[in-house]
Structure 1
Amino acid sequence: MKKTALFISVAIAATTLVGQVWAEPTTTKTEAPAPTKPIVQTNTVSKEFESFLENLQKAVKEDRHKDVADLMSYPLIVIKNGKKTTISTKEQFVQKYDRIITSDVKKQLLKQKAKHTFHNQYGYMIGEGVMWVSEINNQMLVYSINTFDNPYEVAGIDDPTAFVQFFNKLKKEVAASNKKAVAEMIDYPLNVNKNGKTTKIKSKQEFIKKYNKIMTKEVKQKLFAQKIDRVFVNAEGVMIGDGQIWISQFGTKIAVYAINLR
């Protein structure tokens, strides 16, 4: 959904930033079980796992928290940002569901194909290790979930690593005056706000033509000075500087959707 253009003053932005500062996410998303002997991958997955994965994906996709809880082994090992905790009961799992089944865990789980699942003596690995599944008491269950904080989730950005990469690339391309590359990083129509008026830039070609009037000296300075661990984040997106640039996710694309000029 296209967001409305934003007008945020320097004073308001500066006040807000004091209260909400986000740390740069770790690039290490997963932590697999520590091996005690050499890992040996087998060649086929069992029909039991195929059926289990299908049921788990359906329950998670439909947000049936209690049904997902039934597919966990307790105590469930949850590793978040490298810190290990345990979930003792189904009730506790349901209560903390959104903090355990994060957007990244859900995304990797729903993308997993049974035939492409890596497995060894520790069980079946989902995605990059966000979940581990094994046969416990004669039934397939999830016994470990590995997750991490996503400081950009409230802005609708699924993958914090992808945002960091986008942010660094935006800085690099702007610094190089690579207008075409920057144009590719915009969501159109782009809202350009100045003196209370909004101009909509409807295409890459129009953006490139008006590049110097949009990417002003102040906008560039604020972008270059912005530290990734000092960005302000809310439901409208990620704010660069004092509101000069706003970034969010549209479908699967992270993009700039508004630029505020003075």
Structure 2
Amino acid sequence: MHSNHHASLLLALLLAAACQSGQRPDTSAQTVDSLIPDTIASVPPDVSMADPYVTQLEGQDTVFEDGTVPSSWADAGFDDPAGFKHFLLRFKEWVRTDNVDSVAAYIDFPIRGYQTAAQFKGQYATVFDEQMKEMVARQRLDRVFRNYQGAMLGEGQLWFADQEGKGYRIIAINKE
């Protein structure tokens, strides 16, 4: 509860500062990571549905900016889109801080290019180079592409699936 209060207070201060500077913030289009990047990891997965973070996490994601309509979350195999978005917040933090063990723990081995967690960990810095880390950081939670294969980050660099009994897992890593 304390971390929710702290994060809500920080959000209010950021919005107040923007208003005082003469800018009118459009919070409907902003995501949690663009508002308070340093506190993203402190958003617990079980926050109340009345919490402002949940509203931002469950932002409109049925039509993208270019007018395309993604497959439904259910068609992509995700029963809990908000839960997946909370997972992505943690994943973004793991990538930002190079938490290799956490990233590797959520890969469904073997996958193309990596047979084991040890093999992946040895190549982590090559896989999650600055370009890949930037893509993960920029990924908007309300703009995750999905289809019958799962959910995609970026332009297909990472694919996730919600695997029964295992939870969310990276099922493909596609490096240029």
Asked if TM exceeds 0.5, the reply is yes
Q: Offset of 1:20 from its aligned partner?
A: 3.2
Q: Show the counterpart of 1:256.
A: 170
Aligned residue type for 1:185? Y
Contact 2:72 2:147 in 1 (8 A): no
* RMSD between superposed Cα atoms in Å: 2.1
Q: Offset of 1:165 from its aligned partner?
A: 1.6
- CA distance, structure 2, for counterparts of residue 173 and residue 239 of structure 1: 17
Contact 1:21 1:230 in 2 (8 A): no
Structure with the greater alpha carbon radius of gyration: 1
Name the structure with the higher strand share: 1
Q: Offset of 1:18 from its aligned partner?
A: 2.7
Within a 5 Å distance, the mapping from 1:1-262 to structure 2 comes to 18-20=66-68, 151-191=72-112, 200-252=113-165, 253-262=167-176
Unpaired segments of 5 or more residues in structure 1? 1-15, 23-149, 192-199
Q: Offset of 1:161 from its aligned partner?
A: 2.3
Q: Offset of 1:172 from its aligned partner?
A: 0.6
Aligned residue type for 1:217? E
Count of residue pairs the alignment pairs up: 112
1:170-197 Cα distance to aligned partner (Å, 9 max, x none)? 1011111110011111111122xxxxxx
Higher relative contact order (CA 8 A, sep 6+): 1
Aligned residue type for 2:157? Q
Q: Does the residue aligned with 1:155 lie in a helix, a strand or coil?
A: coil
- CA distance, structure 2, for counterparts of residue 151 and residue 169 of structure 1: 23
- CA distance, structure 2, for counterparts of residue 216 and residue 168 of structure 1: 19
Q: Show the counterpart of 1:132.
A: none
Name the structure with the higher helix share: 2
Q: Percent identity?
A: 31
Contact 1:186 1:255 in 2 (8 A): yes
- CA distance, structure 1, for counterparts of residue 142 and residue 76 of structure 2: 15
1:179-231 Cα distance to aligned partner (Å, 9 max, x none)? 0011111111122xxxxxxxx31121111111112112221111110101111
Q: Show the counterpart of 2:38.
A: none
1:98-147 Cα distance to aligned partner (Å, 9 max, x none)? xxxxxxxxxxxxxxxxxxxxxxxxxxxxxxxxxxxxxxxxxxxxxxxxxx
In structure 2, the CA distance between the partners of 1:232 and 1:177, relative to structure 1 (3 Å rule), is: same
Q: Does the residue aligned with 1:177 lie in a helix, a strand or coil?
A: coil
- CA distance, structure 1, for counterparts of residue 147 and residue 65 of structure 2: 11
Contact 2:149 2:161 in 1 (8 A): yes
Aligned residue type for 1:155? A
Q: Does the residue aligned with 1:201 lie in a helix, a strand or coil?
A: coil
Aligned residue type for 1:248? A
